[in-house]
A and B are shown apart, each in its own frame.
Chain A
Amino acid sequence: MTAQLPILTVAPLLFGAFAVTAGRFLYRRANYAVAALALALSFAASVLLAVQVLAHGTTTYFVGGWPPPIGISYVADPLSALMLAFVSGAALCVFLASKAEIETSYPLKNSAFFALFLLAAAGHMGIVATGDAFNLYVLIEVAALSGYAILAQGKDRAMLSSLNYLFVGSFGASLYLLGIGYLYLMTGSLNMADLSAIIGRLGGVGSSTALAAAFGIILAGLWVKMALFPFHSWLPAAYSFSAAPAAALVAPLTTKVMAYVLVRLIISLFTPNEAWSVPAVNTLAVGLATAAILYGSFCALGERSLRRMLCFILLSEVGYMVGGAFLGNRAGLTGTIYHIFADLLMTLCLFLAASNVERATGGRFSDMGGLFRRMPATSAALVAGGLSMIGVPPFCGFFSKWYLLSGAISAGSYLFAGALVLSSLVNAVLFFRIFEIGFFRPAPGQDGGGQAGHAAPPPLGRDEMPLARLIPLGVAASSLVAAGLLAGEIVTRVAGAVIPPGLG
């Protein structure tokens, strides 16, 4: 059983998707439970796998019993195992929190939504688990296509922006496929471990134009998929017009899983030293990352609704991850890896909180007066997410900043370091602007009480969400502190285990 764990992390989701589709015609009422069960099974398998891998080392599973390089292998090393646990946990959290939201957002299409949700989760899980470069492309498309479908169902321009995302996303995925084609041309293999060995024998990226082109094209494809500035334009629209559950699933997963693929590209497909051997690429990547951080921060300042602001913050977080991966030192890469986990949790927490806030107020800043009084638990989670984004210890956001900043300082990338610090400050402004509204302004329809200073504001009823939505949110919020306190463990046992020794 334990040998099959890597595939068991993905299989329940895939079969769950089929079961839910079939269940539409058989017994519709069980569908929510079936989908939740699939997610729970996947999460349980991932946690078991992570425990096993952290204790005993890497596990590899050959799909269908075919050994590589012919067959597809699923590889669980410390990084992918922990990532699987995070991804499946996030999907489960979103699903449990969104039951009511799904029923109102997708009337009559519940089952379709469940199936697509499971497929999207399966795609993201598969991308993390697979050890095969072509299979990875397939799974990118599985994740993306189901993502387009669930993001398209929303208000205003949801369909149009999802279509836009489809065009750009397909372009990015095609670039990735093209790069893999180049690699296959040069090596005759698609298995990542095998590819890496052959590339090493061929003499690395610098040895041939085709390999260098493959590296560059794959990189470009990933940047498009992860919405790095200036390939970002699809993201804010696609994530902000969709219904809340879709955004809460896709926003924490897609950009982070793509950043994970980027890390895999650097450490597993190539080696860090090869990947960083072209100074122009490093300069370009760190430059774009700096631009992404600044662009995201300043655009976020201009937004007047919670979810759109979070989307732009997400853009600058992408900059964090790309920049750290190309600083060319161990601290930077560690920062990127840790930030993948940290940002996944932060985005999860903030999007879940935003979904609650939207439900109660509509999510525009102007309607969020009195929020702290009306929704104390949701506000507390929003504060936790905000403080983590600002980078306050012991929240996890601080520790990624720590590694990224020390990487930037030792690499001499002071512009990138400056952008990181500036984005922390801008985040402080962004979140405290919301806190001010929630704390000081009277709720809509209430007169401004307490202007004299001592008169108590008029008592206002609680408008808090049901526990079913608050418990997953609470788990997400407390995981921010837990991930922060476990930063040392994650860095030494996960990042330290996969980054090759001897990097400066």
Chain B
Amino acid sequence: MDTIASATAALPTLVSVTPLLAVCAPLAAVPGIVLAGERSPNRREAWTFLGAATAFLLVLSMLPAALSGTRVEYVVANVLPGAPLAFSVDGPGLLFALTASFLWIVTSMYSVGYMRGLSEHAQTRYFAFFAVSVSAALGVALSANLFTLYLFYEILSFATYPLVAHHQDAEAVSSGRKYLGYIVGGSIALVLPAMIAVAALSGTLAFTPGGVLPASVGAPVAGLLLVAFAFGFAKAALMPMHAWLPAAMVAPTPVSALLHAVAVVKVGVFSVYRVVTGILGTNFLSSLHLGDVLVWAAVVTMIAASLVALTQDGLKKRLAYSTIGQLAYVVLGAALLTPRGELGGLLHIAMHACGKITLFFCAGAIFVATGEKYISRLGGLGRRMPLTFAAFFVGAMSIIGVPPTAGFVSKWQILLGAAETGRYAVVAALCASSLLSAAYFLPVVFAAFFGRPPEDAAWAETAKARGEGGVGEAPLWCVLPPLITAACALVLFWWPDVLARLAGGTP
């Protein structure tokens, strides 16, 4: 049944240092960022853009190889038997790397507008750790084996801590604790022993189509490993390992946008995908009927997170719960153990990224322009910030999965995948989840365009006093990025071909 797996098994390989360079490019910008410092912010941001552009171009340069079915490989060091520090770039990895590195450029623009708009402190530290985080995310995307993936996963955990705790106040302390508690606790207590068990059982950790476990491993052990990986990779935010994500929303909005909607959380689900397809093996899992465990964990997370999202008044909190629900789609796609499920899940990494980052950008733009954080206070704001809310509307449609937005493409594939395996309850759950996301996003848009401003809203007062009643957007650098990503969400509906080919399908 695994036509994709058998196709990738015979992939010709190409030894090239490009993946290493792509991972190092953001790191190389860090000294420049630190040396430029607070004294010359423009030079500092130039380093960020230089690193971002270089990383993106390096990733992009591997696209022809990946599309032609060639695997780009590079071994850095033989550190552990059966698990060198090595990169191997295939379609899914490149799909994720492209998404992360492209959105980093956009987010960097947004960071400049947001951080300067709010005169945040410690911007040098912020940009430096941002670069390290992106480097780690690219490392996860391009890694050749579970050890390399774990290495970058852990670097990402620690590199994002100063970003989450950026404000250095009491709330940041407790959120930082929660963040590390879940993520590092999961990776050390669950993933590390599971990884060592896999290495002991099979002697290798390389991502191999069809998995690496010997056939003698029984369902109990394989099931235990699956559970340890799925919940241990807490960045995937499968319930009950999700509580760190809403807490991490204390971070500045660009961090929430790129890291907690794209890089960090997608690293989590991508890790689960890699383990399911490359370590445990889809055939192996389906022969033991273990896919169901993950399917139901994903479905429960999807529905429960959407229900909680309905109750959230904080805009970023609502977005966070929505992210938890949407991440479950990717896990679900992998858990279906069919090529179509995988295709849908992988596409959802990119499609959801475009939609959700747009929404976060908009949330941040609203905060910069008006200082508002709560949904109940957004009434009438759409008339004042039409561009922002137009982008918000497109992003919301994409998350709900309405054509012609990108979210539809991936959700459709996951839906078909679920139907193909005869899991009609899952199909119903997917539909219900889409309806729920409509229920928690559309009222926001409706109120913004047709509602009344709150009585005490400062922005409404000043607008009235000046007699404008007209447009009052956030700074250009805060408005342009959501428009770009919203445009992506529209474009990807019509031209998803390249991404779909990377994800292994021919739609």
Interface residues of A (CB under 8 A from B): 387, 390-394, 399, 401-402, 405-406, 409-410, 417, 421, 424-425, 428, 432, 436, 439-440, 450-457, 484-488, 491
B197-229 to A contact mask, C-beta < 8 Å, 1/0: 101100000000000000000000000000000
Q: Is the CB of B192 within 8 A of A399?
A: no
**A450–B196 contact, CB under 8 A?**
no
Residue-by-residue, is B139-174 near A (CB-CB < 8 Å gives 1, otherwise 0)?
A: 000000001001100110010001001011111110
Closest chain B CB from A19 CB (angstroms): 42
Q: Is the CB of B173 within 8 A of A425?
A: no
Which of B73-81, B241-249, B413-421 makes up part of the contact surface? Answer: B73-81
CB A379 to nearest CB in B, in angstroms, measures 12
Seed contacts A393-B147, A401-B192, A453-B167; 11 additional CB < 8 Å A-B pairs: A392-B155, A394-B151, A417-B193, A421-B192, A425-B185, A425-B189, A428-B188, A450-B167, A454-B121, A485-B77, A488-B84
User: What residues of chain A lie closer than 8 Å to B177, measured between beta carbons?
Assistant: 432, 436
Most buried by A among B155, B176, B196: B196
Q: A453-B167, A488-B77, A488-B79 are in contact. Are A392 and B196 (CB under 8 A)?
A: no
Q: Tell me whether A454 and B80 are in contact in the complex, defined as CB-CB below 8 angstroms, given that A391-B188, A393-B154, A428-B184 are known contacts.
A: no
B442 at the interface (CB under 8 A from A): no
Measured between beta carbons, the chain B residues less than 8 angstroms from A491 are 81
Contact B188 A425 (CB under 8 A): yes
B331 CB–A CB distance under 8 Å: no
A402 vs B177: C-alpha distance when bound (angstroms): 26
Give the distance in Å from the alpha carbon of A454 to the alpha carbon of B192 in the complex.
38
* CB–CB B85/A440 < 8 A: no
Report the minimum CB–CB distance from A330 to chain B (whole Å): 11
B188 in contact with A439 (CB, 8 Å): no
The yes or no answer to B300 lying at the interface (CB within 8 A) is: no
Q: How far is the CA of A235 from the CA of B78 in the complex (A)?
A: 37
Pick the residue among A432, A455, A488 that contacts B180 (CB under 8 A): A432
A376 to B294, CA, bound (A): 44
Is B200 touching A440 in the complex (CB atoms < 8 A)?
no
Given A393-B151, A399-B79, A417-B193, does the pair A450, B168 have CB atoms closer than 8 Å?
A: yes
Interface of B is mostly: helix
Q: Kindly list chain B residues whose C-beta atoms are within 8 Å of the C-beta of A421.
A: 188-189, 192-193
**Among candidates A409, A454, A484, residue contacting B196 with C-beta atoms closer than 8 Å:** A409
A405-B169 contact, Cβ under 8 Å, with A410-B200, A457-B121 = no
Taking CB as reference atom, which chain B residue is nearest A485? B77
Report Cα–Cα, A484/B167, bound state, in Å.
33
A405 to B197 Cα, complex, angstroms: 9
| Cβ of B287 under 8 Å from chain A | no
CB–CB A424/B188 < 8 A = yes
CA–CA, A250 to B172, complex, Å?
A: 39
For B154, what are the chain A residues with a Cβ–Cβ distance below 8 Å?
Answer: 392-393
Instruction: Kindly list chain A residues whose C-beta atoms are within 8 Å of the C-beta of B457.
Output: none
Is there an interface contact between B80 and A402, defined as CB atoms closer than 8 Å?
Answer: yes
Distance (whole angstroms) from the CB of A446 to the closest CB of chain B: 13
Q: B196 touching A406 by the CB < 8 A rule?
A: yes
Q: Can you name 20 A-B pairs with beta carbons within 8 Å?
A: A390-B184, A392-B155, A409-B196, A409-B200, A421-B188, A425-B188, A428-B185, A436-B173, A436-B177, A439-B162, A440-B165, A450-B167, A450-B169, A453-B169, A454-B167, A456-B122, A485-B77, A487-B80, A488-B80, A491-B81
Q: Are B121 and A390 in contact (CB under 8 A)?
A: no
If the complex has contacts A409-B200, A432-B180, are A456 and B79 also in contact, measured as CB distance less than 8 A? no
A409 and B197 contact, CB distance less than 8 A: yes
Residues of B within 8 A of A390 (CB): 184, 188
Q: Do B85 and A394 have beta carbons less than 8 Å apart?
A: yes
Q: Does B118 contact A (CB under 8 A)?
A: yes
Give the distance in Å from the alpha carbon of A417 to the alpha carbon of B192 in the complex: 11
Task: Give every chain A residue within 8 A of B147 (Cβ-Cβ).
Answer: 393
Q: Name which residue of chain B comes closest to A433, CB basis.
A: B177
Answer yes or no: B119 CB below 8 A from chain A CBs.
yes
Q: A401 — which chain B residues lie within 8 A by C-beta? A: 192
Q: Which of B168, B185, B197 contacts A440 (CB 8 A)?
A: B168
Determine the distance from Cα of A454 to Cα of B114 in the docked complex, in whole angstroms: 13
State A402–B170 Cα separation when bound (angstroms).
36
Contact A485 B169 (CB under 8 A): no
Question: B497 interface residue, CB < 8 Å from A?
Answer: no
Given known A439-B162, A450-B169, contact A488–B78 (CB-CB < 8 A): yes
Report the 5 A-B pairs with minimum CB-CB distance, sorted nearest first.
A456-B121, A393-B151, A488-B78, A453-B167, A488-B79
Most buried by A among B80, B84, B189: B80
A303 CB to closest chain B CB, in angstroms?
19
B355 to chain A, nearest CB (A): 28
Q: Are B169 and A451 in contact (CB under 8 A)?
A: yes
Measured in the bound complex, the distance between the Cα atoms of B76 and A486 in whole Å is: 11
Given A406-B199, A425-B185, A428-B188, the answer on whether A440 and B158 have CB atoms closer than 8 Å is: no
Least Cβ distance of A403 to chain B in Å?
Answer: 9
Residue of A nearest to B154 (CB): A392
Which of chain B's residues have a CB closer than 8 A to the CB of A387? 158
Q: With A and B bound together, what is the CA distance between A75 and B349 in angstroms?
A: 58
Assess whether B193 is in contact with A454, with CB atoms less than 8 Å apart: no
Q: Is B120 an interface residue (CB 8 A)?
A: yes
Chain B residues positioned under 8 Å from A454 (CB to CB): 118-121, 167
Query: A436–B165 Cα gap in the complex (Å)?
Result: 10
| Chain B 66-92 residues near chain A, CB threshold 8 A | 77-81, 84-85
**Chain B residues near A428 (CB, 8 Å)?**
180, 184-185, 188
What residues on B are CB-neighbors of A406 within 8 Å? 196, 199-200
Interchain nearest-CB distance for A429 vs B (Å) = 9
Chain B CB within 10 Å — which of A387, A394, A486 has the most?
A: A394
CB distance from B108 to the nearest CB of A (A): 21
Interface string of B46-83 (1 = CB under 8 A from A): 00000000000000000000000000000001111100
- Which chain A positions have C-beta within 8 A of B189? 421, 425
Identify which of B150, B173, B196 contacts A405 (C-beta below 8 A).
Answer: B196
Q: Which residues of A contact B85 (CB under 8 A)?
A: 394, 485
B121 (CB) vs chain A CBs: closest residue: A456
- Chain B contacts for A485, CB-based, 8 A: 77, 79, 85
Once the chains are docked, how many angstroms separate the CA of A402 from the CA of B197? 10
Q: Which residue of A lies closest to B199 (CB)?
A: A406
A432 contacts across to B, CB distance below 8 A: 177, 180
Specify which of B80, B169, B185 is in contact with A452 (CB 8 Å cutoff). B169
| Cβ proximity bits B109-125 to A, threshold 8 Å, 1 near / 0 not | 00000000011111000
User: Which chain A residues lie closer than 8 Å to B155 at the CB level?
Assistant: 392
Chain A residues lying within 8 Å of B167, measured Cβ to Cβ, are 450, 453-454
Most chain B Cβ neighbours within 10 Å, of A399, A401, A428, A452: A428
Roughly how many angstroms separate A439 CA and B162 CA in the complex, as a whole number?
A: 9
Q: Which residues of B contact A393 (CB under 8 A)?
A: 147, 150-151, 154
Question: Cβ of B122: which chain A residues have Cβ within 8 Å of it?
Answer: 456
In the complex, what residue of chain A is closest to B78 when comparing beta carbons? Answer: A488
**B81 CB contacts on chain A under 8 angstroms:** 488, 491
Chain B residues near A440: list those with CB within 8 A. 165, 168-169, 172-173
Establish whether residues A439 and B199, one from each chain, have CB atoms under 8 Å apart when the complex forms.
Answer: no
- The minimal Cβ–Cβ distance linking A365 to chain B, given in whole angstroms, is 15
A89 to B31, CA, bound (A): 28
Collect the chain B residues with CB atoms within 8 Å of residue A488's CB. 77-81, 84
Q: In the bound complex, how far is the Cα of B85 from the Cα of A488, in angstroms? A: 10
Residues of A within 8 A of B199 (CB): 406
Chain A residues whose CB sits within 8 angstroms of the CB of B169 once the complex forms: 440, 450-453
Across the interface, which residues of A come within 8 angstroms of B158, CB to CB?
387, 392
A28–B334 CA distance with the chains assembled, in angstroms:
73
Closest residue of A by beta carbon distance from B185 = A425
A424→B193 CA distance, assembly (Å): 12
Can you name the residue of chain A whose Cβ is closest to the Cβ of B152? A393
- Chain B residues with CB below 8 A from A392, complex form: 154-155, 158
**Residues of B contacting A456 with CB < 8 Å?**
121-122
A457 in contact with B168 given A440-B173, A484-B79 (CB within 8 Å): yes
Q: Which residue in chain B gives the minimum CB-CB distance to A392?
A: B154
Q: How far is the CA of A246 from the CA of B151 in the complex (A)?
A: 35
